[in-house]
Amino acid sequence: MPTSLPRNKVAKQHTWNSESVFATPEAFEGELKNFVESLPTIKKFQGHLGEKPDNLIEAMSVLEKLQARANKIRVYANMSHSVDTANQNAAAMNGKAVSALAQLRAAASFIDPELLSLGKDKLEKWINDDPRLKLYAHYVDDLFRKQAHVRSAEVEEILGMLQDPFRGAAGTAGMLANADFKFKAARDSKGKQIDLTQSTHDRMMGSEDRKTRQTAWENYRDKYLEYKNTLASNLGTSIKQNVFNMRARKFDSSLESTLYDHNIPVEVFHNLIDAFKKHLPLWHRYWEIRRKALGVKVLQPYDVWAPLSKKKVSVPFEQAVDWICEGLAPMGDDYVRLMRKGCLEDRWVDRSPNVGKRQGAFSNRSTPDMHPFILMSYNDNVGSMSTLAHELGHSMHGYLSCRAQPMIYTQYSSIVAETASNFHQVMTRAHLLDNHKDKNFQINVLEEAMGNFHRYFFIMPTLARFELETHQRIEKGQALTADSMIELMADLFSEGYGGKMNVDRQRVGITWGTFTTHMYIDYYSFQYSIGISAAHALGKRVLDHQPNAVEDYLNFLKAGSSVYGIELFKQAGVDMTTSKPVEDTFAILEGYVDRLEKLTNK
């Protein structure tokens, strides 16, 4: 298992093309300065939006241009910081970019209260009379839907200014885990030390050597436990901020507050959690199948990712791109050509593990003049191929939406955000299972499927249950401590493991602390489960060659946030307000479990 390289030793072709955004850090600094100096160009419209439609049109045009510039500033700074979290210059750039976005939100905060003061009738008349304003019809409808929770211009400005300091908790968690944590080296069964970092951890957890998995898992978790009180205080602060926003906007619960923003009924959350609890016996069955396949007396948490196949399938990056493109071929030549070129020529992907690289993977959303960028640590296996497919789904979603929609609608709703990513995995997996009948290959692909389901249909619903309980405790004025949070998390996982897994309560219970991104985006974790459910439903439509399935899906990607997320699902062919898509996806999961049991039965 190779040691992570220092960032400056990574081959250029394995890094993303950051210079296509800004040629140099100095160019970034110059644009940042000019951007901040440009903010008064939106403030000058304050108090004048209602005078005539031209003022509103001009103001929205200025705002969209500022938003596009802000997005490029944020993307470039985030790119620099994510690949080398200990780099102080990059950290400073990232902080300045976040501050600039907060200044823009504060500068433009007068718009919604001022539009509300004009009244819906006046704005709808303007929209009907002036074709230039028709594209804002959905924006206005959404604004008046939220009317009861929009505060005065002064309060909205203060809430906008709070966005920067309120990001502090998430920033601290990320810096602590990605820049400051130095993990004790893992050891293999022969006693050899192996460097453990954020970018090598996942590969170690998939090692054939059980001692490697055990020591990597324990040493990784122990570092988080060492800082459990700091992490608990930090997450508690983030939850309190969510509750503050809930109360400032006059909602009854943080769950309602978060979901209302995207017009998501709270029943969508509860339907998912109810279905998850109902199907826990399926997970219990899977743990037992995995234990038998591995030939161990007691299954341990670090065995969840252990390979069940006799031999791992090697998947070099270029091969992964080929297989993903083959799987997505039904989406059309233009779609596939764009992905292939992005991966192999335009350097969308920063793929090499390196010291200081942040944990996980993500895709930055593009703008009309900037292509997407993907961060990951590629490890030449089926799991890494799946991650690449996932992030390319995000990339294609952002690419198509920002080229089909005005800037105001490019940032699609969070409830649909994880659909395109999982759709890519569904299509790639189906292609591989249909075209590679070798038993060992099939097991490798099914392991990838189970790993993906484990994350999105087991871990994420469990985190969602934890999230709901911790928010409710804060809403009731109760305290959150490191130990109480660890106990809650350990209880939830114990229920999920159903006695089929040994539960190291401290190391399992600190799981919340290891999610330094997801836990700081309130009520986002359950939306992964919604995404994988919708993805399987939409993928089935395409694979079954249902009429207009491809066109419906591409329109889904291009819509951005110009349609409410729940309605957008319906237009694409799936109703996520019911439990059926979730139940159907559990049926797919059960089918994978059945196939894996037969293939691994000794």
pLDDT for 537-561, tens place per residue?
Answer: 999 999 999 999 999 999 999 999 9
Specify the 3-state DSSP secondary structure of 564.
coil
For 116-128, how does the pLDDT look when each residue is reduced to its tens digit (9 = 90+)? 999 999 999 999 9
DSSP character string of 269-298: HHHHHHHHHHTHHHHHHHHHHHHHHHT-SS
Q: Against a cut of 0.85, is the pTM above it?
A: yes
pLDDT for residue 3 is more than 70: no
- With tokens 């070099």, the residue in question is 316
Answer yes or no: do 259 and 131 share one domain: no
* Residue 116 within any structural domain of the chain: yes
| Residue 45 burial by Cβ neighbours in a 10 Å radius (0-12, 13-18, 19+) | buried
Terminal Cα distance for the chain, rounded? 29
* pLDDT class of 310 with cuts at 50, 70, 90: confident
* pLDDT class of 178 with cuts at 50, 70, 90: confident
| Residue 342 burial by Cβ neighbours in a 10 Å radius (0-12, 13-18, 19+) | buried
Answer yes or no: do 17 and 79 share one domain: yes
- Supply φ then ψ for residue 349, to 5 degrees: -110, 125
Answer yes or no: do 20 and 145 share one domain: yes
Specify the 3-state DSSP secondary structure of 92.
helix
**% of the chain surpassing 70 pLDDT:** 99
pLDDT for residue 1 is more than 70: no
Answer yes or no: do 176 and 296 share one domain: yes
Mean pLDDT of 351-363: 88
pLDDT for residue 365 is more than 80: no
Answer yes or no: do 185 and 146 share one domain: no
Per the DSSP assignment, residues forming a β-bridge with 193 are 187
Tell me which of 268 and 360 has the higher pLDDT.
268
> What's the token pair of residue 485?
């949070």
pLDDT for residue 367 is more than 90: no
Return the pLDDT at 199.
81
Answer yes or no: do 102 and 244 share one domain: no
* Residue 437 within any structural domain of the chain: no
* Residue 196 within any structural domain of the chain: yes
- Supply φ then ψ for residue 28, to 5 degrees: -60, -50
> What's the token pair of residue 301?
């948490």
- Rounded Cα gap, residues 288 and 600, in angstroms: 12
* Residue 36 within any structural domain of the chain: yes
- 148, 166, 184 - which closes a domain: 166
pLDDT for residue 2 is more than 60: no
CA atoms within 13 A on the CB side of 96: 19
Answer yes or no: do 207 and 156 share one domain: no
Return the pLDDT at 37.
97
Query: Residue 569: which of 412, 458, 461, 462 has the closest Cα?
Result: 412
- Rounded Cα gap, residues 563 and 577, in angstroms: 16
- Rounded Cα gap, residues 155 and 158, in angstroms: 5
Q: Give the number of other CB atoms < 10 A from CB of residue 340.
A: 17
Return the pLDDT at 356.
86
**Sequence-ordered list of residues with C-beta below 8 angstroms from that of 131, at least 6 positions apart, any chain:** none
For 412-422, how does the pLDDT look when each residue is reduced to its tens digit (9 = 90+)? 888 999 999 99
Q: Number of folded domains in the chain?
A: 2
The CATH number of whichever domain residue 25 belongs to comes to 1.20.140.70
SS3 per-residue string spanning 52-73: CHHHHHHHHHHHHHHHHHHHHH
- Rounded Cα gap, residues 60 and 112, in angstroms: 11
Burial 209-237 (b: 16+ CB within 10 A, else e): bbbbbbbbbbbbbebbbebbeebbebbbb
Name the pairing type of β-strands 193-194 and 373-375: unpaired
- With tokens 């694979």, the residue in question is 543
- Rounded Cα gap, residues 387 and 398, in angstroms: 17
pLDDT for residue 515 is more than 90: yes
Query: Residue 383: which of 294, 339, 449 has the closest Cα?
Result: 449
Mean pLDDT of 473-480: 95
Q: What's the CA angle centered on 427, arms 423 and 428, to 5 degrees?
A: 115
Q: What's the CA angle centered on 594, arms 593 and 597, to 5 degrees?
A: 85
Per the DSSP assignment, residues forming a β-bridge with 354 are 5
Whether the CB-CB separation of 486 and 505 falls below 8 Å is answered with yes
- 520, 537, 566 - which closes a domain: 520
Return the pLDDT at 167.
79
**Sequence-ordered list of residues with C-beta below 8 angstroms from that of 39, at least 6 positions apart, any chain:** 66, 103, 104, 107
> What's the token pair of residue 263?
């017009």
Q: Give the number of other CB atoms < 10 A from CB of residue 148.
A: 10
Answer yes or no: do 151 and 70 share one domain: yes
- Rounded Cα gap, residues 280 and 261, in angstroms: 31
* pLDDT class of 309 with cuts at 50, 70, 90: confident
SS3 per-residue string spanning 577-590: CCCHHHHHHHHHHH
Answer yes or no: do 154 and 231 share one domain: no
- Supply φ then ψ for residue 217, to 5 degrees: -65, -45
Answer yes or no: do 204 and 298 share one domain: yes
Answer yes or no: do 125 and 185 share one domain: no
Instruction: Give all strands of the β-sheet with 373-375 in edge-to-edge order.
Output: 349-350, 373-375, 362-364
Give the domain range for residue 77. 7-166
| Residue 292 burial by Cβ neighbours in a 10 Å radius (0-12, 13-18, 19+) | middle
Consecutive H or E run containing 193: strand 193-194
Tell me which of 442 and 151 has the higher pLDDT.
442
Specify the 3-state DSSP secondary structure of 20.
helix
The CATH number of whichever domain residue 227 belongs to comes to 1.10.1370.20
DSSP 46: T
SS3 per-residue string spanning 94-148: HHHHHHHHHHHHHHCCCHHHHHHHHCHHHHHHHHHHCHHHHHHHHHHHHHHHCHH
- Rounded Cα gap, residues 529 and 461, in angstroms: 7
* Residue 182 within any structural domain of the chain: yes
| Of 70-74, 178-182, 235-239, 301-305, minimum mean pLDDT range | 178-182
Answer yes or no: do 142 and 236 share one domain: no
> What's the token pair of residue 39?
């903010």
* Residue 409 within any structural domain of the chain: no
Query: Residue 593: which of 300, 382, 287 has the closest Cα?
Result: 287
CA atoms within 13 A on the CB side of 43: 11
- With tokens 């990513």, the residue in question is 421
- 487, 520, 553 - which closes a domain: 520
For 19-44, how does the pLDDT look when each residue is reduced to its tens digit (9 = 90+)? 999 999 999 999 999 999 999 999 99
- Rounded Cα gap, residues 500 and 179, in angstroms: 36
Mean of the per-residue pLDDT values of the chain: 94
* Residue 193 within any structural domain of the chain: yes
Tell me which of 160 and 81 has the higher pLDDT.
81
> What's the token pair of residue 325?
């493109």
Taken as a whole, the chain contains a residue count of: 602
Residue type, 342: G
| Of 171-175, 468-472, 586-590, minimum mean pLDDT range | 171-175
* Residue 547 within any structural domain of the chain: no
